[in-house]
Structure 1
């Protein structure tokens, strides 16, 4: 087996893993924060209307 081939496999695996982790874990807090923000806005509006 060629060493260059192993390096490319390792590099592609690591880069794919890091990109997946970044995409998966960085989007969850944004979605969660957005949904909490919307809920607090509706609660504030409901409190002012009544």
Structure 2
């Protein structure tokens, strides 16, 4: 597993589900972006999981 970076725009991306290609292997990654207690969380998983 290798780290990836993403940009999150708090004005538009909170409570959104997105698909983004992995920077390392180019496979799609499903991202769920949430906010709780003024902290932003990103849950990432591969589409086939």
Greater strand share, structure number: 2
TM-score by length of 1: 0.16
For the pair shown, the structure with the greater C-alpha radius of gyration is 1
Greater helix share, structure number: 1
TM-score by length of 2: 0.16
